[in-house]
């Protein structure tokens, strides 16, 4: 028996690639959210390359979840308080960005949503629900926080059946279909999105399975560069076909295609010498949480005019990345400093 190895450096590079795909998705893949007269000039006139990349960029969520599921499975089954601690640390990292967005939004960008709620809640109950990720009125793109926390807290149950690979994979596929049907029919439960949990558990579970012991033949196939190249070609062809004939099915396609993409990229780049592009991706990979939380306010809610002002698509992309980093880097520096001060003098255990 063998396992499919994704080392920490490779995982960070893939997370860095995923966050770049997320920026492209929100800048170019959802043109209906670009408010006129804002627009961008394509890199290649007459070729909607940015739109295609943006459409494909939705795969970033599944990539991140697969890598997270892989990491939790490699850590192994722990007491439940370990996973509760992981969820708590996520919230501690989430809250500084939440409070900054709430303060700026409440002062300068307050608006009433079609649902009747204020975007930046005035009701204390709504404020707490947003802070606990049970609402996402401040930024729709923050829906992922609730789903991620639910997956972390259900991981102990998943790990208990991880040894029964076929049972776990079959059950995960069935839940994915159920969640997709619920989403299509607009059926869900209050407060937490069960549909999102059922849909997005699939890449998480696949990541867990990749971390476990695999038959030699499967491990060998996953590590084959030839098969990796065939996989990339298949993903490209599949994307083109879905985009041309069934655009409504793009989200299910990228979720299902994400494991093949991650495996192919690991196989093709995992042993490459770490030049500056790899180091840059790895650096961005360490900032994914902050970049994810901050960038919607620049490209949608607060400063869309400024982000699209450069017009030329590479400069628009650079503007969003640069503006987001300008917020994330000092916040992360402050978080690190606070962590050092809080833990200073504590006994080593």
pLDDT digits (tens, 9 = 90+) for 205-261: 999 999 988 888 888 888 899 999 999 999 999 999 999 999 999 999 999 999 999
Question: Would you tell me how many other CB atoms lie within 10 Å of the CB of residue 327?
Answer: 20
> What is the average pLDDT value for the chain, to the nearest integer?
93
Q: Binning pLDDT at 50, 70 and 90, where does residue 64 land?
A: very high
pLDDT recorded at residue 207: 96
What is the mean pLDDT of the segment spanning 7-20? 95
In this predicted structure, the answer to whether residue 349 has a pLDDT above a threshold of 70 is: no
Give the percent of the chain with pLDDT over 70: 96
In three-state form (DSSP H/G/I as H, E/B as E, the rest C), the secondary structure along the chain is CECCCCCHHHHHHHHHHHHHHHHHHHHHCCHHHCCCCCCCECCCCCCCHHHHHHHHCCHHHHHHHHHHHHHHHHHCCCCHHHHHHHHHHHHHHHHHHHHHHHHHHHHHCCCECCCCCECCCCCHHHHHHHHCCCCCCCCHHHHHHHHHHHHHHHHHHHHHCCCCHHHHHHHHHHHHHHHHHHHHCCCCCCCCCHHHHHHHHHHHHHHHHHHCCECHHHHHHHCCHHHHHHHHHHHHHHHHHHHHHCHHHHHHHHHHHHHHHHHHHHHHHCCCCCCHHHHHHHHHHCCHHHHHHHHHHHHHHCCHHHHHCCCEHHHHHHHHHHHHHHHHHHHHHHHHHHHHHHHCCCCCC
Q: How confident is the model at residue 271 (pLDDT cuts 50, 70, 90)?
A: low
The yes-or-no verdict on residue 346 having pLDDT over 90 is no
- pLDDT tens digit string along 155-177? 999 999 988 999 999 999 999 99
2 pairs with which residues across the strands?
214
Burial of 46 (0-12, 13-18, 19+ CB in 10 A): exposed
- Alpha-carbon Rg for the chain, nearest whole angstrom, is 21
- Can you tell me which residue has the tokens 């969820």? 87
pLDDT at 252: 95
pLDDT, position 90? 97
> What pLDDT is attached to residue 348?
42
pLDDT value at residue 162:
85
Residue-wise pLDDT tens digits, 292-307: 999 999 999 999 999 9
Per-residue pLDDT at 180 exceeds 70: yes
Give the pLDDT confidence score for residue 251 in this predicted structure. 94
Write out the two tokens for 217.
């033949």
What's the pLDDT at 347? 47
Name the β-bridge partners of 270: none
């Amino acid at each position: 028996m063998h396992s499919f190895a994704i080392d920490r450096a490779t995982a960070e590079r893939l997370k860095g690639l995923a966050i770049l795909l997320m920026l492209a998705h929100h800048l170019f893949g959802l043109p209906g959210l670009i408010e006129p007269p804002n627009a961008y000039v394509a890199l290649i006139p007459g070729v909607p390359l940015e739109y295609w990349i943006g459409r494909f960029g939705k795969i970033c969520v599944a990539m991140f979840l697969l890598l997270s599921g892989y990491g939790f499975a490699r850590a192994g089954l722990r007491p439940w308080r370990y996973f509760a601690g992981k969820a708590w640390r996520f919230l501690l990292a989430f809250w500084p960005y939440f409070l900054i967005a709430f303060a700026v939004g409440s002062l300068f960008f307050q608006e009433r949503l079609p649902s009747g709620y204020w975007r930046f809640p005035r009701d204390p109950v709504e404020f707490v629900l947003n802070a606990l990720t049970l609402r996402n009125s401040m930024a729709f793109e923050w829906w992922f926080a609730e789903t991620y926390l639910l997956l972390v807290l259900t991981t102990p149950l998943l790990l208990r059946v991880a040894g029964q690979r076929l049972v776990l994979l079959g059950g995960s596929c069935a839940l994915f279909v159920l969640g997709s049907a619920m989403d299509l029919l607009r059926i869900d439960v209050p407060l937490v999105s069960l549909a999102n949990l059922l849909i997005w558990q699939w890449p998480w579970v696949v990541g867990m399975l990749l971390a476990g012991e695999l038959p030699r033949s499967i491990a060998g196939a996953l590590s084959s560069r030839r098969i990796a190249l065939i996989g990339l070609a298949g993903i490209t062809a599949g994307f083109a076909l879905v985009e041309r004939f069934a655009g409504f099915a793009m989200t299910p396609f990228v979720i299902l295609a994400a494991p093949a993409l991650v495996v192919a990229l690991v196989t093709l780049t995992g042993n490459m010498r770490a030049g500056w592009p790899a180091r840059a991706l790895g650096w961005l990979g360490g900032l994914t949480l902050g970049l994810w939380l901050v960038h919607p306010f620049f490209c949608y809610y607060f400063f869309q005019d400024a982000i699209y002002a450069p017009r030329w698509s590479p400069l628009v992309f650079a503007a969003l990345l640069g503006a987001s980093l300008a917020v994330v880097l000092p916040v992360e520096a402050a978080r690190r400093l606070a962590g050092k001060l809080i833990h200073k003098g504590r006994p080593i255990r």
